[in-house]
Amino acid sequence: MALTEDLDIFLEDFGVTCTSGATTAQGILDMPSQVISDGMVLTTDFTLTARATAFGALVRGSSITVDGLTYTVRETMLIDDGNFVQLGIQRT
């Protein structure tokens, strides 16, 4: 069943400004997860949820600026009914 709610209102309430290329839209940045080995942090991964129409075409290696910080896309996955995309991103 497709969502009928206004997704922009949801993103405006909880989102931050995201820019990739000429596209600027709101996205929700989730808390990072860390991969730790032998007491050292190897990577810190973040998750960004945004409208698929804005950032659904990003591929691994793409650059995106989230709330003024630059990240590299690690993976792109459409979620739910395809209106949202979840990006696995890493600070660069």
Walk along the chain (92 residues) and give the pLDDT tens digit of each residue.
Answer: 555 667 778 788 889 999 999 999 999 999 777 777 888 877 778 999 999 999 999 999 999 999 999 999 999 999 978 889 999 999 88
What is the residue extent of each domain of the chain? 7-91
- Please count the other Cβ atoms lying within 10 Å of the Cβ belonging to residue 81: 10
Instruction: Measure CA 53 to chain center.
Output: 13
Q: What CATH number should be reported for the domain whose range is 7-91?
A: 2.40.10
pTM of the model: 0.83
Three-state DSSP at 6 gives: coil
- Measured distance CA(29)–CA(32) in Å, rounded: 9
Q: Are 88 and 64 in contact (CB under 8 A)?
A: no
Identify the CA nearest to 87 among candidates 56, 65, 41, 66: 56
Longest alpha-carbon distance in the chain: 47
End-to-end CA distance of the chain: 37
